[in-house]
Structure 1
């Protein structure tokens, strides 16, 4: 049987990378779609040797785009997190780093007409329902990728992509604090369960016997930490209304410590079975909200953030990320209006990806 060719763009979005497709070029049925994405990425092998994945969770991500039928959005962004060593696809989360490439990809794929100068695209994140405005640099009506913007975790500089996230509180669990508590103890560890852009379970690094400044490699080699963290994450997932999360990448897990490079707070973000090499865009919003909310596990660790909107600087394994948070305190209650970040993206290749005809005949 011949192979099936599927048009795609191969892009870096923020500190992640993967194929960007038109949703219409893929099977509608989710079971068949999963098999296609598994074949495309090469999931089920640590090197993804039979696909275009890069052997890490940040390089086995897939974006699927279509024109939105919503009045408040231009593009629907459907995300799939493909596993590395297992033949699995998780459609529960979204990805803010890959979102950085959605605006440019929408233009490159002919789904949105660019303006001269800069182009504003309203994006509906299908997985979570969030709305995001992306501002893409398009002088002369064409996407440019070269520029002077730098983000930690990516070498060099590129054109900026501005992202403004709206309606991200409770996008997966229905509330800022899905368990109704600012913090609680699970298996002897005090945690804050919070849902802002990405549902997370957040703890203090010191409570695990960690400094919080360990490298990604040091943390991933610490099997005792993961053995203690994962049962907490699973129990928290049930308490947050997410059900059995043993095979899901949500909720994510984060650990906090005091900043030591002039930032607001230091954090390590887990995806959740390994440490992120830098920081997830969605996770950064949740961690920033945690740092700003009195009474969470961040209290006593996070430096006060001044101004309105406030800039929360999170120090991570590869540097730092700034989150501009527009919020207000209603009594002791934290209310988020929007969160903005600067990211970059780059088109790496375009063409057709091939999957076995036995997986999908097209």
Structure 2
């Protein structure tokens, strides 16, 4: 045989989509695994014409599931971000949108058994060590995707998937403020470098001559801004102890501005080499935490909630996302947990094929 068949589910999780695999069906070593995932998605072409990627960073994401050996968790979730054109695979970050589909995929794969009308799935995010409790709708013990929940960036409605994130502070760098400072200045731009679910470099939109309410198309066309942002991101990444991040999607970059549509604060999120069409689940936790932290770059851009838990409404390019933040502000800012509501849907299943010269299978 000239091709190797690999079982998979194709799912939308939140505002992202991609293949979900049983980790046991993939090569163990990361170098071969990366080549397999490049072939699966078709990385190396703007349309991913030779794979099942969708020509955008939110559609070249991969989830790999396995039974967890953690006493707390039911399922281990290993994430890979595959680049659209550059044939790069980044195993450092995690993805909260794709994580929205991990519970349903676990049920579909037989790794999780439904428990009544609502099934709780304890998920360990292998890349970062975060623990996430997902609540799925399983009426009569059957996985359902139909429901009335809406999320910005996805048409229609679906069954709600409630996510509660724990242990996400310093998940990538080991520190809430990886540089040790609440604010830093790079290339004349003041930023807050923060690590909550996703390490991020966060700036005021106005410091780049932007309103923070630009469309995705307007931002993606502003190559001068992207050049300035990337130069700043590289310096900030080094200062955050992340080394040379020129070929890594982390740290991500975010912009803040005063809200205009009744939300808590306006945001734009970058992946980082193009603009996110909506908002990352992990990024939303970091941006919400930044918004709530006194002394951060968010000072003066919002009226901070004074009670915990706080419902932080982030305005983004496609609408809004709500983050319920349980925190303690008696001495700075301490995050206890962050809750979000997402939807997911199984789109297809079967086998995806990669050339046998890349991997001959088990």
TM-score (norm 1): 0.99
Consecutive unaligned residues in structure 1, runs of 5 or more? none
Partner of 2:206: 206
Deviates more, 1:224-233 or 1:297-306: 297-306
1:38 maps onto 2:27 in alignment: no
Shift of 1:304: 1.9
Q: Distance in 1 between matches of 2:117 and 2:302?
A: 38
Aligned to 1:80: 80
The answer for the alignment partner of 1:348 in structure 2 is: 347
Moved over 6 A (4+): none
Q: Residue 303 of structure 1 corresponds to which residue in structure 2?
A: 303
The alpha-carbon deviation at position 330 of structure 1 amounts to 2.7
Question: 26-35 vs 296-305, which deviates more?
Answer: 296-305
- Post-superposition offset of 1:306: 4.4
State the 1:307 CA deviation.
Answer: 3.2
Deviations 1:244-282 (A, max 9, x none): 100000000000000001111000000000000000000
1:58 partner SS: helix
Give yes or no for the alignment of 1:267 onto 2:247.
no
Q: Structure 2: how far apart are the matches of 1:137 and 1:220? A: 37
Distance 1:306 1:140 in 2: 41
User: 1:361 — aligned with what?
Assistant: 360
Partner Cα distance (2:192, 2:294) in 1: 11
Separation in 2, partners of 1:11, 1:210: 35
For 1:304 and 1:198, locate their aligned partners in 2 and report how far apart those are by CA, in whole Å.
22
Instruction: Measure how far apart 1:308 and its partner are.
Output: 2.0
Separation in 2, partners of 1:265, 1:129: 29
- Please show how residues 1-362 of structure 1 align to structure 2 within 5 Å: 1-331=1-331, 333-362=332-361
SS in 2 for 1:351: strand
Deviations 1:212-243 (A, max 9, x none): 00000100000000110001101110111111
User: How many equivalent pairs are there?
Assistant: 361
Query: What is the DSSP-based 3-state SS (H/G/I as helix, E as strand, rest coil) of the residue aligned with 2:248?
Result: coil
TM-score (norm 2): 0.99
Distance 2:158 2:112 in 1: 22
Unaligned runs of 5+ in 2: none
In 2, Cα distance between the equivalents of 1:246 and 1:308? Answer: 38
